[in-house]
Chain A
C-alpha cells in the first residue's frame, strides 16, 4: 500500500540537498530579524511568564517554523505540478495515493526539522539555550505533520500558483502571528482566545514552549495535534485523485 513512498521522499531530498545552502540562508533571515527586532531590541526588559521575552520568543519561532516550512512543501509540489509537470510521473507510476502523500509529507517534515534546527542555532547565538527534549520534538513533528499534510492536500485542490499564494496569505500568515508565537494568547480577549484554541499552531506553541521551559506539557495539546495530524493526512490522501483532469 505504501510501496514507492521512498522514491517520492528520495526525490524531494535530492532537490533539498541541491538547494540546502540557499534554503538555510532563507530559513535564517526572518527568524533573525524577529530575534533582533522583537527579542533583542523591543523585548529587552520585558518578562513573560517568568522568562525573558527572547526566551519566550524562540519556542514560538520554532513552532511557527514547523508550520511554515512544512507547509512550504505545497509550493514545491505546485512547481512540480504546474511548471515542470513532474507530478505526472508520480500519477503514472504504480504507487498508491497514500504512498505519494507519505513521501511528500515526510519531505515537508524533514524541511521543517532542518529549519527548526536553524532557529535553535540562532537562539544559541543570542545566548538562549532552552530544553529541547523528546516532548519538544514530538510537538514540533506533530505540528509539521499537520501542515505538511494540509499543504499536500491543498496543492492537489488548487488550480494555479496564485491560489497557493492566497492560501498562504489568508491562512498561514495570520496563524503565524496569532497562534501564540509572539505573545501569550491570554493577552487577547476571551472570544479571540476561543477562536485561537481551534488553531493547531496554538497547541503546538503551548506544547513546544512548555517543553522548552522544562515544564510539564499538557497532554491535551498532544492529543489535539495527533488527532489533527491524522485528519490532515487522510484529507491529503483523499484529495490526490482530484488532481487528475
Chain B
C-alpha cells in the first residue's frame, strides 16, 4: 500500500505560522482537506490566503508548523512533495513570447515527462480548456480568460493529485469567471483535490465543499457553506438605519415578515448568503 493510501487527508496543515518583520501573516493556521474535496479559503486582501498557498507550494518558508500533502512532508522529501500538486498562481506567470505549446512543454520537462507523454497530454488538455486551436499561438496574443485556462492546463499537465488555485478568477469578467467555475468543477469530477483562495463570496459558495474564513492570519470558521449560513439563519432583512444598511437574520420567513411588519423603514427580504456568515464571524466584509 502506498504511504498516502492510508491517509484520510490530502492536505494537512498544523499550526502554521509566518511573520514578515513585525507583521503576522499567519497565526497558527490548521486545517485538513480530504481527497476529492474543493476547499475554499475565503478572506479579504491581506488575510493570509496567498501566503498559505506560497508556503504549501514551497515558494515561501514558514516560521513554524507542519505541512503534508498526500502524506508527504516538504521537509522529508521536497522533490516528491512537489510532484503532488499543480499551481495556478494569482499572477499570470507564463512566458508571453513563447507559444502555448512551448510553455506546456517546458512544464512537462520540469516534471520529467517524456516527449510523447507531454504531446498527448497537451492535446487532451488544450481540447478540454477550449484552446485546441491556440497551440502554436504566442501567449501574448491570448485573452485574459484564455491565459487563465492555459495556466490551469499547465498546472494539470503532470496529473497532480492536488490543484492549488490562487484567486483564479480575479480580473476576469463575469461570463468568463462562470465558465472557469465549470472547469474547476470538472477538475473535481476527475478526482483531484482543489485548494482555492478567493475573495469572491459567490465563487466559494458555488464551488466549495468546505469553506474556511480567514481573518488576520487566523481561521475563524471552517465548515460546509450551507452549515456556515445555517448558523446565523435562513432569511435576512436589510434595513436602512442611520444611513447604514443593517442586516437581521431569522430562522423562518414568517419570523422575518413578522419582524419587518413592526419596522417603519423600507426593507429587503432575502435568503442568507455566505457573505452574511462571513460578516457575522469576522465583523468585516470580504473586499
Contact = CB atoms under 8 A, between A and B. Distances in A.
A3 B110 CA distance: 8
B79 A94 contact: yes
B58 A92 contact: yes
A86 B93 CA distance: 5
A95 B79 contact: yes
Contact of A84 (B60, B85, B93): B93
B123 interface: no
A125 to B, nearest CB: 31
Given A84-B93, A88-B89, A244-B59, A15 B98 contact: yes
B110 A7 contact: yes
B61 interface: yes
Contact of A92 (B61, B82, B102): B82
Contact of B110 (A4, A18, A88, A245): A4
Interface residues on B, range: 20 to 34
Interface string A1-24: 001101110110011001100000
B136 interface: no
Nearest to B113: A7
Nearest to A8: B110
Interface residues on A, range: 20 to 34
B224 interface: no
Interface string B266-279: 00000000000000
A129 B117 CA distance: 48
A193 interface: no
Nearest to B54: A245
Contact of A86 (B59, B60, B95): B95
Contacts of B96: 84
Contacts of A94: 78-83, 110-112
A112 B270 CA distance: 67
B91 interface: yes
Contact of A4 (B54, B98, B109): B109
Contacts of A92: 57-59, 82, 85, 87
A85 interface: yes
Contacts of B97: 15, 18-19
Contact of A14 (B20, B54, B58, B102): B102
A90 interface: yes
B107 interface: yes
A4 to B, nearest CB: 5
A89 interface: yes
A6 B109 contact: yes
Interface string B238-260: 00000000000000000000000
B271 to A, nearest CB: 40
B61 A245 contact: yes
A14 B112 CA distance: 18
Interface in A62-105: 84-86, 88-96
28 contacts: A4-B109, A4-B110, A6-B109, A7-B107, A7-B110, A10-B105, A14-B95, A15-B97, A19-B97, A84-B95, A85-B89, A85-B91, A86-B94, A86-B95, A88-B59, A89-B93, A89-B107, A92-B82, A92-B85, A92-B87, A93-B110, A94-B79, A94-B80, A94-B111, A95-B79, A244-B59, A245-B60, A245-B61
Chain A to chain B: the 9 pairs with minimum beta-carbon distance, closest first: A7-B109, A245-B60, A85-B93, A94-B82, A93-B110, A7-B110, A94-B79, A85-B91, A11-B106
